[in-house]
Structure 1
Amino acid sequence: MDRTEREQVRHLVADFRRWSEQATDVRSWRQAISDSADSAEQDLLARSLVIDRTGESAWRVVPLGKDDAGIVRHLRERANLPVTTSADQSLLRLLTEDVPRALADVARGLGVRRFLSGSAKKQTADEAAEFLRSRHPTVIEADAPRRLEQLGVFSAPVDRADSGYEALLDPALRFSLLPGSSGPKPELLDRSAVDGLAEALDTIDRAVAGEASYRSAALHAGQQVRAADVRRMLQEMPVEALKAATGERLRLGALTQAGIRTVQEVLDRDGSLQTLPGVGETSARYMLGAAQTIWQTTYDEMPVRIDIDDRRPETTELLRRLAEWDAYRQTRGAAADLERAAELAPLRTAVGRRTSHLLVIPTGMLAVADLRESIDIVKRRAELLGDSPTRGRRKSVAADPWEDFLARPADYFAMLAELGFLTEDEDAVHGDLPEEIVKAVRDQALSGEYLTASLRGYQSFAARFALVQRKVIIGDEMGLGKSVEALAVLAHLRSRDETHFLVICPAAVVTNWIREVTGKSKLRAHRVHGPERNRAARAWRRDGGVAVTTYETLAWWEPTLAQIGDLACVVVDEAHYIKNPEAQRTVRTKRLITCCDRAILLTGTPLENRVAEFRNLASYVRPDLVVDATGLSPRKFRRQIAPAYLRRNQEDVLTELPELIEVEEWLPMSAADTDRYRTAVRRSNFMEMRQAAMLQGTRSQKMRRLIEIVREAEANERRVIVFSYFREVLDLVARSLRGPVFGPLTGSVPADQRQQIVDDFSSAEHGAVLVAQIVAGGVGLNIQSASVVVICEPQLKPTSEAQAIARAHRMGQVQSVQVHRLLSEDSVDQRIVELLARKKRLFDDFARVSDLADSTPEAVDLSEAELVRQVVAAERQRLAERAAAET
């Protein structure tokens, strides 16, 4: 390299050194801005907390205070860094990495250092010079110096005073904690949103802690009942079970020679087993281990049962402890609220005195409004607990816990379920619902502020299902507490400042609904039925609450209801009453369902005769689900209406329900019965044919058997319900029985008097009989005091019999229920039973959750009129053929 070349290179070096320093400053400045923003993000992430909902992440909450003003500035500065292109990145890499190496190498060929460098270094210097010489025009042509100036300043002015936390929600800041564009939006909440939350959580903690000792005592008592039952079982379990439990590896001869016959005796001997002749230390350890395994397995699977016929001391102690817990606890009916409190507990420590705002970022599908709702629920629950009338004082506990248990068994079973002694099938609780609806229901809050009853898990699920889906059919099997499920919805809506609710039901159950509302909630009930309906309607319109009216009264009241714009929810009880879309009561009820934002149809028998009836009910709440539902197979039909229909059956969720024993008693007809029956057949009088075998009084075989059943029930300290479709049969039954008889309970008896008859019957002595028309007494009433049911003749709808049985075999029943169906041989009874089996299959296919084979709905339709024609024709032909044969 000659002098001219060296001079040229010196000019190149000067240019590149200046540009390199400029590029290094730009890169360092940009890196510092990015590092500060990343550090701020990491700080926010570290201090943030995740709030769960039903075990899944729902929101990320970031507390912000006055000391965090610089965070927004750092993020804003990063957001306003000029965007670098690939050419920019190549330029910065050239000037900050490649050029500094070339400048170091070329220095060896300049100045006096070149005289001391060897040939290799001179060669490197020449190559570096050539590198600078070749890159210089490129840098100049790209106007790199000016581009470096652009990369070294913000693309937009950054106002240091503009550091409000609202900017964190700006997508332009590229805040990494924010979600994408889909899903609920994050929000910035003022500190006031959580004011009072810490105090509310403390109040709830104190209430829960105060109840903990009583709950713990009840839990321990339940465990003792379970352990005692296990001990009794193992005292009956032969010692040979140890051999089966160990795969036949144990020799038990030494045990039997020592007189040890049962597994419990092995446990009782414990450490002394090895002292027995022929039993070594290893064998003793294996024997005891096998016995303990059997004990644990039996204990885990042993339900806690309360047997009123065997009142053991440990069971009495359990009832006493449950009664004490129930008397002292303030959180009854608040399970959902307590769950919300536990979920919000992390906020108590995360929000400090210097916190001014909360950045709430949804991590699932729940909006920030749902978090605010949870906070309000917890604060309202704390207010209720702080103002509880039982706070600081003792409530009386019944002297005889068995007496209190028999008075309200459902409450005790609810407590046992809460303690985990009564389990529910999780899949059965969900019915046949799609998974996405199940998840939404789980996420739905349920306020217990206005509810005073304890909900079972499956009942809470039904209430939340109705809240999520807004208009639904709850088709739970009779006896599971559908009215309480609907009442829980109304109570929740009242806590959300809704005020006016309407229940439409048959006249027979108006009184029962009034009792449910007043006894299990803090809502005000209004009886808009009967002579005081005008006054009650005005009071409801003025004060709000739950108006209970009938399908018939609706004709009078509908014009006024149509003008009410704040009707929050309508509940239609025994909704199968409106299965016929042409009936006027259906038309009126449907208009209310349509104009109301929420509706709950309650019926344990959504399908009685035809699949079309079920489709009709579904169309009232979700017409979109049944547009193309005609002709579907059962499985497809259930899947299509699943978003609006929830059904659970007794055996799935009421594990404590006593046994249901059903007996078909086929009886020969007496001579008097036969004469009357033949006359009815000759006249083609179907109704007379059905009751002919009962109308001869004590000359009738059915009546004689009925009298025997009642005597047996009295001897066994049971009460009896006798159902018949026919008033004449009921009158004759009432005259033929010697003991206390209540009724007949018929459709002509006013609703309030019906309830009074049931109350008098429930408090009567054993052996008492309630006679009731199956179409009146079989609907809506709760008669758990009876445990023997007699049905005098088969009904034309299998659902009618199921409803009647469910009056006694329902939640709260503590005795096994015996059902006696009185059936006459060689009569209309046999024909009806055979034909109705097809109706039952239809219901099981379409309305009861099952996986039976597909079938076409129209192929198995069977109307009542057609059934009557078939039965009468078959009987006339049978009797004619018999008469011909006898001739």
Structure 2
Amino acid sequence: MNKTEREEIRRLTADFRQWIHRAEEIQDWHKAVQEAASSDERTMRARSVIVGRSGQAAWRVLALRTSDVGVVRRLWERAALPMPTADDNALLRPLTKDVPSSIASVTPMLGVRRFFSGSAKKQSAEAAGELLRHHHAAFLRYDGPRRLDRLGVSTTSVDPQRLGLQTLLDPALRFDLVSRQTGPAPEMLDRSIVNGLPEALDAIAKVVAGESSYRSAARDAGEKVRRAAVHRFLEEMPTEALKAATRDRLRLGALAEAKINTVQEVLNRGRSLQMLPGVGETSARRMLAAAQTIWQTTYDEMPVRIDIKHRHPETTQLLRRLAEWDSCRQTRGAAADLERASELAPMRAAIDSQTTHLLVIPTRQLPSSGLVESIQIVIRRAELLGMSSAAGRKNVGSDPWEDFLARPADYFAMLSELGFVTEDENAVHGDLPEEIIQAVRDQALNGEHLTASLRGYQSFGARFALVQRKVIIGDEMGLGKTLEAIAVFAHLRSRGKTHLLVVCPAAVVTNWIREVAGKSKLRAHRVHGPERDRAARTWMRDGGVAVTTYETLAWWEPALRQLRDLPCVVVDEAHYIKNPQAQRTIRTKQLVARADRAILLTGTPLENRVDEFRNLASYVRPDLAVNATDLSPRTFRRQIAPAYLRRNQEDVLTELPELIEVEEWLPMSTSDAGRYRASVERGNFMEMRQAAMLQGSQSTKMQRLIEIVREAEENERRVIVFSHFREVLDLVARALPGPVFGPLTGSVPAIRRQQMVDQFSSARHGAVLVAQILAGGVGLNIQSASVVVICEPQLKPTTEAQAIARAHRMGQVQSVQVHRLLSEDSVDQRITELLAGKMRLFNDFARVSDMADSTPEAVDLSEAELVREVVAAERQRLFERASSKAGGAV
């Protein structure tokens, strides 16, 4: 390289350094503008509130202040950023990749060091210099400097000082709350629309609170009337009616001999029926179950009657409670208005003295005018309540019957308004002392933030946790321990508690997120995985339900220590912390100790793990567990009863066997994901369906399957495992720990199939029958199994229904649990989503046509159509994910 060439290279290098510096300045500017705007969007979203209508979100409302004009300007600055074209990116890319390395290679040859460099370095420098010449010429040829100048200057000529809050509605701003809207157009409303609303909501809340005790007393009295009517009705019902309430053959001769002649007398005897001569435990259980079914059916259909000819004491008490409620209530006839007030309640905290406008974004097909109407109605209702309060309280006469006869319509209107929700009064209370049972019964459970209905035993479990504060709930798998914990969260949220926490294995994080979102109004945060930092910050700031894992807890523990108030922590699959020496146990135990309330959930029976349960009990109630030195399960159960509640399915689901279906959404392991990506790239649909099971012990699905089988053994159940694929069945048969029968496939002769079923039925608890779903799903009766596992979603809803029906049919004496193993972000999710629409159609069809039961296949999705849709969707998803990761790396 001669002197002239060196001078040329110095000039080129100087140009490039200037351009690189300018490109970096532009990149930093773009990044800063975008980050500032994104931060503002997150803040605005967090400040917004959801206003409902009829139990569903209807509008998102953002209260705006004058200071929010600064946000508008930053959003506008982002919208005005010059966007690089594909040609711009192609031209500028060498500035960040090839050019810097070429400059580094050629620089030593421009000074004294060139005299001490070997031939190899000189050749490399020559090549680098030639590359610099090429890129320099190309950069100038395609007008690179001008392109840089264009990318470094805003594209707008609008004076930022002239921008106002109304600009948020401009699509060009790309404000995410507005730009993502697909329904009616968002609107900007003046503050005057909500003048008086906070005061109106406060006034209504005060009135409703004042009436609540009287309303509750009236409802309680109505319950007593209904129960007394049911009792009298069943005292007249002969025991022969038991035969019509069950499919079992009941022999009632022993009842007649014992002079038990009515259904109520059967209920009075209860479990002591098995002590009667000629009545065994099974017969007694079936008789009692039939009687309880009759009681429940009668109760459900029994209206609350006011019988003036038979003035029973409980009816007189009901009238008195209704009269007391009516004498003080100011909300008569205001049920719809009160519902709207409840829906508008979130706006109370959002509106303050600095609010100047409201940005209203419809989330359904309801325009902003509907919200304005609700506001006006609520303000008017508050005015009416204020006027009616001056009337004062009417006196309640000594004889409520006189008032009832004078205005019966008013009393019946009150009865209609109250309604009566039935509860399962026969739920088992475990080994709890009577004083605790009574305290639990007296505990109110606020369902304001709950969207799911609770069975009686679930309500009892939630109230037990509230009363006892730190407990273990060991209900058998499938009874809904998760819902009980969510009910506790919902109650605490209604009491102003905000930061609620779940610690669980990684495999059930998705289930918790789905359950919280689907069964409550609480917001769930996934503090696990790549988004854990963001989720943790959001939860710490806004509250909600944080769902994290035992492993993530190690990372999050320092931040959690800074949280002053932790109202409740739920520890799911609590057997994970039975070892007191494990680090996960130490961390979780400290968290439990610091929380105001704690609920440990586990489906493992106490009788099988006394030592380990002693450890669990010591975490929630050290004062109880310290004296639990006797290894006798009965004694230990009695000692820790104040902190431990367990119900078996047979105890709480006594009317008829119930079908409990659980979708278990599981993350793929690294091995699962690798095999799955490969199958998607090949477009091999069948391999995609089974990829999450083919890694054996490294498969998350396989690990969960083993847990289900082990728990089934502990709960004295047998299991059927269904899959479409022979290879999956072979792997399952080899992986499961207990006695395994099968695989039962289409190639197995019919006689041999029945032999397999017979052997399986006579095997010990924990036995597993592995069957191909198209072979084992039809033509066999397998009532000895009460746990069904389906390894992957089937392409026709009828295939799964027929398979489940092998166990859930006449003759089954246990409730049947169905576990669908489903992988997140996979073909399982795509198939489930596509078939959900077909199932909805089927349900709609079934409600109006007797033909539905005979033609369910009419709504099955064709396999060819499904394959095309799923493979295309998965290829697109994985491509976008790969592109996103690549973009993030750059």
Q: What is the TM-score when the length of structure 1 is the normalising length? A: 0.44
Q: Higher RCO, 1 or 2 (CA under 8 Å, sep at least 6)?
A: 1
- Pick the structure with greater CA Rg: 1
